[in-house]
Structure 1
């Protein structure tokens, strides 16, 4: 069975207090017993002295009846036994009549006052004249006094003792010690009762104070420790008195705060690590996509360059001869519409071939200082008067403090024109086109956002691929591929984010300062 702390403290304190009080009471009882015995001895000696003084004149007159009666009265009043023994050892008087006339030997206790073996003592101390003995279960104290042969005795007319006798006899006074034992027992009983009362009061007081000053704080600390073990780090230990337990409570609160801070830091590190992993994974995915796209563009560029040169000459011939046929008056009017269709489609093929040649051509940018904001305005001025842009609101949010860039203004203008036209077509000629420029992390950026139909997520990874287009029977699908190559040749990046039904955002980033030198193969 587990004992509580307060039970252990109370039991231990009670045991110590009990032992202390028992020892204290034992010492007090012994001291009281000695004092009472000393007082009883002095009282018996005083009775003996009183008898000797009172009966002195009677002994001088040898008035024995009065002498005996006086001793009888004094002994009766004091509750003492009185006996007189002469120098020969005969009891000549005793308040106990049966003892009168008895002969006592030198070995009797009364005679030990004057006789120590064969030696006769004339003077003896009170300690040597005192004896204690039991009779019928009762303890008695006896005090003897020598009756000396003084000058007044051996010069008296009635005196018959020779002068050379120093001791004439012994006066023995015996008092019972029952009163002393009664006082001792009463004191002992009171001491026991007082001890038990003090132990009860002290134990109760210690229990209350221990409960308030020790047990409650320890219980609070224990409960707080259990909450900590369950991972609850929001609680605090209540403030105690300014003592060791108070310092312990403050240490617990500080430890809890540190644990909570450490856990929050670990959780933050975990979240940051997950975010960093996600960002890094996304960056690696983008880099891999860019590498794959660059490899595809490089391979495709070499292929389309040869194809474009091979089919460009036949297309030129077809277009020339078809134009001649179309202008010939001998042409059957019913065939004229068919010839116009051939001319139109031939021109369309020529445009495709021209785009292929531009896509595959390794043209080095003509670098110069130019403002990104000015290039954007120039691109807008080319297309904003077209019918497609009549109902489109253009919002410019330029950073006027943006430093000039080292770029090819014509190529960047071509990129922005492509993006603006795609945005206008996605909005079907009605919506909002927002253009924002600025600088961040050593790069200048321009963000073009439209409120068009958006691009499905399955198409986002393909929009920079050659010949990929979401417009049916419109365009060649090379505009964004060419734009991608131009931005890469300038050491920048182009990104796209889109949501169907919300709009599309293109972000073009270019380095501030000199762009990195990129080879034509890398650009393709």
Structure 2
């Protein structure tokens, strides 16, 4: 059998309250019964005292008839069972029950055993010791009070008195009253307590049910329905206008619901974009594989180029030397001199190509020192300022104070020179060359941006500009400058990024690490290998 929360709470509270009320009623009724009994003993004791005092003068005059008449009249009152006089020898001299007059009481009977329980009878006893509770012949519970009649001085000197003066007690007045009234009051009080307990249980159970229903069951029901809605996919917030713990719990539920919804949306978004991400990752892997294959090809090409360059260098030197000698010989026909000058120019051009091939193929470890990129830029600008392609170009510098970094100044100057000359050649009719430096604290890098307002690079050529022997200048370029620059920056632990738009201009961004570890310096990368 399953009970709901209200039933459980009501049952537990009712049991606790019932036990408390029963305990309270028991203690209260017991205490009240004790109080009633003490009052009854006190009243009976006062009644005995009153009878003795009211009959004192009649006893002095030995008017026993009057004494017995007064006792008889008092014995007719409601609640008094009977009254009797007992002399010192235990004989009942008078009783409202005439049948026992003249009988002798046993000292062990009720009323005598209190004072005669010991070897020496008690002369004086308290009212509690002189009282006893017992059942009469009809089975009713009664209270008996025995009060001693003492031989006072006035009694010993009276004419009628026949008791010697040395006798302390001359008799006992025994009053027996019914305890039905006390039991009736106690029963009434007990019944009232029971009725009050039942009424209180009913009121408390009703109030507790209403309060629990209002402040506990209803909010719990709303929370339960809200969790069921969440299980069905309904992410709406719970509306619970309460400022107690249930209100806080509802707020926490709403926060949890929003977090779950956000997480589910993210999962759904990740699920929808998973294919795209897989494709992107696959494309990145393909690009990495392509770059590795390309690096291997470039490395093989570098070895081949080094051999070819060494083989071509000696014949070209001979051609250039003998062509120069013939062109300077006065015996040469003046008509042939322009042809020899053309031979000399083209031979020099071939020599430059061979020199570029050797630079591309040569493995060079950077000799790094702490340098300022701004200082290297200024030195490079001083070298290229008198170049013919810089005549109509406006140079703008935007330097920040960057920290010194470990670089090879000669190799970095070569990179800057290649980029600056390429930028100037892209602006044949003049333009603006902008140079920026700064630091990226997030990535711990120094950046150098070289931007021109030249013709720009088409998107199809943008991915090829770092390939060896690729050039957009036709016969004017070897296609090795950017490839060599790429390798130099890579050997420094950095990278080169390029952005370009046709007709607007091109921006090269060089990123160099602020803290480059010494063990990474000798990686042995080929300068021409863009990786």
Q: Does the alignment reach a TM-score above 0.5?
A: yes
The residue aligned with 2:28 is 25
Flag the 1:377–1:197 CA change in 2: closer, same or farther, 3 A. farther
The count of corresponding residues between Structure 1 and Structure 2 is: 442
Q: Which residue of 2 aligns with 1:176?
A: 178
Shift of 1:358: 1.9
Q: Secondary structure at the match of 2:469?
A: coil
1:433 paired residue number: 433
TM-score where L is the length of structure 2: 0.56
Mapped to 2, the partners of 1:455 and 1:164 lie a distance apart of: 151
After TM superposition, the structure 1 = structure 2 runs for residues 228-377 of structure 1, keeping only pairs within 5 Å, are 293=298, 296-310=301-315, 327=335, 350=347, 352-361=349-358, 372-377=377-382
Identify the residue that residue 132 of structure 1 maps to in structure 2: 134
In structure 2, relative to structure 1, the CA distance for the partners of 1:301 and 1:47 (3 Å cut) is: same
Shift of 1:191: 5.9
> Alpha-carbon deviation of 1:468?
1.2
1:73 maps to 73
1:35 lines up with 2:32 in the alignment: no
In the alignment, what sits opposite 1:381? 386
Closer, same or farther in 2 for the Cα pair 1:398/1:219, shift >3 Å?
closer
What residue number does 1:56 align with? 59
Please tell me whether the aligned partners of residues 495 and 506 of structure 1 are also in contact (alpha carbons under 8 angstroms).
Answer: yes
Give how far 1:28 is off: 1.9
Deviation of the 1:376 alpha carbon: 0.6
User: Is the CA contact 1:113–1:144 (under 8 Å) kept in the aligned structure 2?
Assistant: no
Structure-2 residue corresponding to 1:270: none
1:403 to 1:82, Cα distance in 2 relative to 1, 3 A = closer
SS in 1 for 2:470: coil
Change in CA separation of 1:157 and 1:114 when aligned onto 2, cut-off 3 Å = farther
Give per-residue Cα distances to partners, 1:85-120, cap 9 Å, x unaligned: 678988665445xx3576635449578469969999
Counterpart secondary structure, 2:182 = helix
**Shift in Å, 1:54:** 5.5
CA distance in 2, matches of 1:111, 1:511: 118
Structure 2 CA distance for aligned equivalents of residues 313 and 440 of structure 1: 52
Cα shift readout 1:201-251 (whole Å, capped 9, x = no counterpart) = 99989x99xx99xx9876578678878988969xxxxxxxxxxxxxxxxxx
User: How many angstroms does 1:353 deviate by?
Assistant: 1.6
Which deviations, in whole Å up to 9, do the C-alpha atoms of 1:127-156 show, x marking residues without a partner? 356553345464332334566788988997
Judge conservation of contact 1:82–1:94 (CA < 8 Å) in 2: yes
Superposition deviation, residue 163 in structure 1: 11
CA distance in 2, matches of 1:228, 1:311: 80
1:397 corresponds to:
398
Q: Distance in 1 between matches of 2:524 and 2:158?
A: 166
Paired residue secondary structure (1:396): strand
Q: CA deviation at 1:379?
A: 0.8
Unaligned runs of 5+ in 1: 234-281, 329-338
Unpaired segments ≥5 residues, structure 2: 217-241, 261-286
Query: Equivalent residues in 2 for 1:399-414 (5 A)?
Result: none
Distance (Å, rounded) in 2 between the aligned partners of 1:445 and 1:164: 135
Whether contact under 8 Å (1:448, 1:507) holds in the other structure is yes
**Contact 1:489–1:519 (Cα < 8 Å) also in 2:** no
Is 1:495 matched up with 2:496?
A: yes
Q: Could you say if the C-alpha distance between residues 226 and 147 of structure 1 is closer, same or farther in structure 2, counting changes exceeding 3 Å? A: same
- 1:278 aligned partner: none
**Aligned 8 A contact 1:407 1:490 in 2:** no
CA RMSD of aligned residues (A): 6.5
1:49, distance to aligned residue in structure 2 (A): 1.9
